[in-house]
Structure 1
Amino acid sequence: MFVFRQLKNAHTVLILVLVLSFVLAGCQTNQKPNAGSSGPSGTSSAGDATQAAQGAEKVLTISWPKDIGPLNPHQYAPNEFFAQGMYYEPLIDYGDGGQLVPKLAESWDISEDGKTYTFHLRQNVKFSDGSAFDANVVQKNFDTILANRDMHSWLGVIGQIDKTEVVDAHTFSITLKNQYYPTLQEFAVVRPLRFLGAAGFPDDGNTANAIKNPISTGPWVLSEYKKDELAVFTRNDNYWGAKPKIDKLVVKVIPDPEARVLALEKGDIDLIYGEGVISLDSFVNLRDSGKFETSISDALASRALIVNTAKGPFADLDVRLALQHAVNKQALVDGVTNGVEKKADSIIASNFPYANVGLKPYDYDMEAAKTLLDQAGWKLPAGKTIREKDGKPLEIELVYMGDDEVEKPMSTAIQSDLKQIGVQVKLTGLERQLRNKRMEAADFDLLFWGTYGAPYDPHSFVSTNYEPGYGIYESQQGLPMAKELHQQMKDVLLTTDETERQKLYTSILTTLHDQAVYLPISYLTSIAVYPKYVTGLKFPAHRDETPFDTLDIQK
C-alpha cells in the first residue's frame, strides 16, 4: 500500500511537470522575436499582437552615422556626444529656457566672494555596478579631469579651478581662482564634467586614454556592443530618477543618410533624430508622405556670416548695413533648408539666457541697401552692373565649407542677392582645415560660421569674440568701440551681480547688432522622424542631449 501511494504520487508529479513544461515553452516562444520579420522591432505583426497582450519588452531602434565610441566621459573623439550625454550624468542639468536644475547635486551654495561652490550631493544614488555615488568618487573624477587641463582648456571653468575638496560623504566643494559666472552652466556640458564609477577607472587613475568599463549613474546600461555595427542599451531599473518608458534602446550604425531613410521606411529603425542626420530634402519627403510624424526643435544655435570690419569694403558701417538689407534670409531658409531651419534676426536667439534684449530685425529691402551703398560712395556707373569707388570695383570674397550641403547653396544665393545691388562676390569653398586657417588669420570678407548653442552660449560666444586667435576678435578691429566692447565681454564673465550681467549682455548684443558685425542667417534645429506608435518626443533644451528617456512605444 505504501509503495502504491509512492508510485501514484510520483505519477502525479510527473504529469504536473509535463504540463508546466508545455506552459513555459509556450510563454518563451511568444517572447522570442521572429527572425523573418521586417517590423521595426524585428517581430512579425502576429508576434507584435501576442507580445503586446503579454506586456512584451519595448525596444526602440534608432540609427546613428558613427559608432558610439568607448563611452569615456572624459574623452572626446571617437566618443559620440549623444551617447555620452544619454549615458552619464552631471551635477547640474540645463533645462528649458536655460534654467539650471539639480541632477546629481540636489542643491548648491556660492560663497559671498563668488569663488567657492559647495555641492550637496544626492544621496542613495548607485552606479550601474552597485557602488555608491559620493563625494569621494566625485573627487576621483575631478582628479583625472584636472590632471589633463590642457586637454579640456576649451572649457573656461577648467582653467579657473584652484582646488577641490571632499567636505563629507555627500558634500563637495570647488574653489576658483577668480569669479566666473558661467561655472554652473558649464557644469551641465556633456564632457568632461560627468562621472564614471570607480571600478571603471584604469589602474593608473588617468582616463585620458582609456577606461576599463563604462560605469554610470544614468538611466541606461550598455548590454551589448558590436563595434561599427550596433550598441544595445538596457533600462537601468535601479536608476535613482524617473526611469525610461522603453526597456531597450538599440543604436544601429548606418553611415549613409539615404540608407537611414530607407531603414525607417522598411521598419528596420523606429526613429531618425538629430542635426544633419539626413538631407533636408529627405526630411521634407518623409514629412509630406503622411506615413510618419515629424518634429523640429526650437533654435539650438545660429548659422551666420562673420563680417570682417578690419579691411576692405566692410570697414564701412554703411556697407555692412547694406549687406543686412540685401540678403533675403527667408528665401534662403525656405529654398535651401525647406523651412527646417528658421530665419535668424539676431546672432544669439532670444530663447537663450540674457539674449532677449529687444533687437529690431533688419528688413529685406533692396532699395535701402542700394541707398546705403550710394551713401558710402559706391556708385553704379552707367552701363555697368558692378559698383565702383575711386575707379575700384566693389568685390568681396565669401568663404564657406566646400562640402557643406547647406553652406554651398546658401553662398550661391547670397552671391545672386548681392549682385542685384551691384556687388561682385567671389565664392571660395574650402575643406575644414584650410577654412579654419583662413578664419584664424581673419583672411576673408565674409565667412560662414556657427555659434556653439546651448548650454555654451552666450558666454562661450562672447569669449570667442574677445580672445585673439580665433579670427573673430581680429575681424572686429575695424569697430571704433572695439576696445570697450571687448572689455565688456570680459567683464560679463566675471560679474556676480545678475542685474549688471544682464545690462552688460544687452550692451554687447546691441552693439554687435547695430554695428552689423554678423549677418545672422538661420537658427539650427534638430529634427525627428518616427512612426505614429512612437510617442512622448520632447526636444531637450541642451543641444547635445537626447529625448530617449521620455519616449514610449504604443502599438
Structure 2
Amino acid sequence: MSLLVLLIVSGSMLVACGNSDDKTKKDKAKGENEHVLTISWPKDIGEVNPHLYAPNEMFAQAMLYDPLVRYGNDGQIEPGLATAWEMSQDGKSYIFTLRDNVLYSDGSQLTADNVKRNIETVVENIAPHSWLEVVAVIDRVEVLDKLKLQIHLKEPYYPFLQELTLIRPLRMLGDSGFPASGTTKDGIEKAVGTGPWILTDYKQDNFAEFSRNEHYWGEKPKLEKVIVKIIPDSQARMMALEKGDIDLIFGSGQLAPEELRALEKNPQYQTLISEPSSTRILSFNSDYGVTQDKDVRLALQYAFDRQTINEHVLNGIEQEAKSLFAPGFPYSDIPFESYSYDLEKAQQLLDKAGWIFEEGAPFRSKDGQALTITIPYNSNDQVHKSIFEYLQGAWRELGVDVKLIGEEDQLFRTRSKTGEFNVIMNDTWGAPYDPHMYLRMMTGEKQIGHYALKGTAHSEQLAANIAKVIRSTDESERQSLYEAILQTIHEEAIFMPLSYRTNYLVANQRLANLSFSMQQFEVPLNQYEVK
C-alpha cells in the first residue's frame, strides 16, 4: 500500500510539473508575440528634461515630447503641435495656431499659455543654449487666445522654423512637469509630454520602459511597449541579441562595421543601412599644441588615406567624403580640390615646417619637442576607436606620435569643451542642422568647431561671415557668403572630411517595418511593429 501511494503521489507530481512546464512555454510564446520591443542603448536616458542636453538622451526626448513644427522627409516644414503659422512681412514675428484637444500624459490640455511657459523657461536660461541662435533671437512670446500665440524676434532669422523642429530644447512639457522653482534649469518634476510614448518605468543605468500613449493626437505607435536596456559594452550587446534578451541594436556607434557585416550573413537577423545623414570628420584644434601650425594640419590632411579607412575600417558601409557637407545639403554644392592622399607631399610639408627626424629617433621633432598629436575619443564608440587605431599606425610612418585617450562619455565631453586635444572626431549634425547650425557652432565658446576656428589666420573674418549669413534675408547674399565661408575653412585645413555617415541597425526577424528618421538622433519607433 505504501508503495502504491508513493507511485500515485509521484505520478501526480510529474503531471503537475508537466503542466507547469507547459504553462511556462505557453506564457513565453505569448510574451514573444506581444507587441513589445526591447532595444539596447549604451548609456542611461537621463532625466529626459526636454529643455536641456546631456545626460538627457535625444532619442528618449523625441519619444516623449513634441515640437511646434516638424522637419519633413523632403526638408519641408510640416505641422506638429501647431497646425498653421504665419510670418510677418518683416520676418520678425510668427503667429502659431495650436491643435485643439491635445492632451499631455497627465490628462492636462495643451494651451498657448503652456507653450509660452515652455519657451520662456528656455530663453531665460540662455547660458546652455549659447550655441543655438533660435533661442537667442526670441524677444518675447504673446498669447493671443487659448490656442494662438505670437513669437516676436529681435531680428529676422531665416532658419527660425527649421530650428523649432529640433529634438531639444524647444519641445513642450506639461505644467505638472515643472519643478517647484518654476524653471526647468533646476530639473523636472516628472516627464509629462504630448508625444507618442509615456515613460512608465525606469531604473537608472539599468532600463527604461516606454508605453504607448493611448491619447496621442497623431498616428499611434503599432508597438505597445518599448523596453530600453542600458548595455555600455559592445560585446555584451551582441551577446544580448544572440540570447534573445534584446530585439534591436540601433545606431552606428553601437556596432563596429565588421560586426554589422558579420551579422548581415546570419539569417537570424535583418540589417539595414540608411542613406547618408551627415559627414564624419576629424577636427583640428588650431589653438593647441602642434596643430596651431597650418603646415602640420596640411601634412596630416595629405597623410589621411580616406579610401583605405572606408574600405578596411568602415567596411564600405559609408561613402568617401571630399567636402564638409554631403551633396544636396543647402548652399553646400561648392566644388573644391580635395586633399588627396599624398604621403610624399605630407613629408615635404613637415620638413619645410622644421619637423625633422633626429638620428635614431622614432618620431619627428622641432626645437627639442616631439611631433605629438593627442586624440581623445569616447571609449563606448567602436567606430571611432577603430578609425583612430588605424590612424595611429598610419601617421607613425610619417613620424607622428599619436596619443590615443579612450574615455567614458562624460570625461570625453569635458575634454572636448576644454580644448585639450589636437584632433577629435566631430561629425556634422545632418538635417535639420546642416549647414547653418554647424557653422554657427564654430563661433560659440567651448565648442569643438570654435577650437578649429580660433587659431586660424582668418578667424575674425570667418566668424563675421558666419554671423552675417544666418541673419541675411537675401538669398543671393547667403549663397555668396556660404561659398566664402566654406572656401576659407578648406584653405585653413581645419576639418578632415572622412565619410558621409550612415546609420545602421540589426534586428531579429520578429520585427517589421524598420526604417530611419530624417533626424539621425531619433529612432522612429512609432513605425516599428512585431510580425
After TM superposition, the score normalised by the length of structure 1 is: 0.79
Matches within 5 A, 1:79-118: 79-96=56-73, 98-118=75-95
When the two chains are superposed, the root-mean-square deviation of aligned CA atoms in Å is 3.7
Q: For each residue in 1:94-117, what CA deviation from the matched residue of structure 2 results, as whole angstroms up to 9, or x when unmatched?
A: 233543322112232222332212
3-state SS in 2 of match to 1:505? helix
Q: 2:132 aligns with which of 155, 159, 182?
A: 155
1:509 alignment partner in structure 2: 486
3-state SS in 2 of match to 1:208? helix
1:62 alignment partner in structure 2: 39
Q: For each residue in 1:490-546, what CA deviation from the matched residue of structure 2 results, as whole angstroms up to 9, or x when unmatched?
A: 111211223322332222123212332211223443321112332212211112211
Matches within 5 A, 1:533-548: 533-548=510-525
* Range with bigger deviation, 240-249 or 160-169: 240-249
Q: For each residue in 1:82-137, what CA deviation from the matched residue of structure 2 results, as whole angstroms up to 9, or x when unmatched?
A: 11111110012223354332211223222233221222222342333443322122
Q: For each residue in 1:48-75, what CA deviation from the matched residue of structure 2 results, as whole angstroms up to 9, or x when unmatched?
A: 8xx9xxxx75222222234434443234
3-state SS in 1 of match to 2:237? helix
Q: 1:251 aligns with which of 220, 228, 244?
A: 228
Matches within 5 A, 1:466-481: 466-467=443-444, 469-470=446-447, 472-473=449-450, 475-476=452-453, 479-481=456-458
Structure 2 CA distance for aligned equivalents of residues 233 and 509 of structure 1:
42
Q: 1:525 aligns with which of 502, 526, 531?
A: 502
Distance 1:110 1:528, change over 3 A: same
2:371 alignment partner in structure 1: 395
Matches within 5 A, 1:132-211: 132-211=109-188
Structure 2 CA distance for aligned equivalents of residues 408 and 69 of structure 1:
25
3-state SS in 1 of match to 2:527? coil
Aligned residues of 2:131 and 2:441 also touching (Cα < 8 A): no
Distance 1:549 1:471, change over 3 A: closer
Structure 2 CA distance for aligned equivalents of residues 314 and 371 of structure 1:
17
Letter in 2 for 1:43: K
Larger radius of gyration: 1
* Range with bigger deviation, 150-159 or 424-433: 424-433
3-state SS in 2 of match to 1:231? strand
Structure 2 CA distance for aligned equivalents of residues 118 and 413 of structure 1:
53
1:214 alignment partner in structure 2: 191
Structure 2 CA distance for aligned equivalents of residues 225 and 475 of structure 1:
39
The offset of 1:175, in angstroms, is: 1.4
Is there any run of 5+ residues in structure 2 with no aligned partner, and where?
Answer: 1-20
Distance 1:510 1:215, change over 3 A: same
Letter in 1 for 2:99: R
Q: For each residue in 1:173-193, what CA deviation from the matched residue of structure 2 results, as whole angstroms up to 9, or x when unmatched?
A: 111223333322221222221
Provide the identity percentage.
41
Matches within 5 A, 1:21-420: 36-37=24-25, 43-44=28-29, 47=30, 57-96=34-73, 98-308=75-285, 320-369=297-346, 395-401=371-377, 403=379, 405-420=382-397
3-state SS in 1 of match to 2:272? strand
Count of matched residue positions in the alignment of Structure 1 and Structure 2: 509
The offset of 1:353, in angstroms, is: 3.4
Q: For each residue in 1:260-312, what CA deviation from the matched residue of structure 2 results, as whole angstroms up to 9, or x when unmatched?
A: 22222222322111242244443333223232111123344444333355688
Distance 1:310 1:127, change over 3 A: closer
Is there any run of 5+ residues in structure 1 with no aligned partner, and where?
Answer: 1-32
3-state SS in 1 of match to 2:265? helix
The offset of 1:406, in angstroms, is: 4.1
Letter in 2 for 1:234: S
Letter in 2 for 1:425: D
1:5 alignment partner in structure 2: none
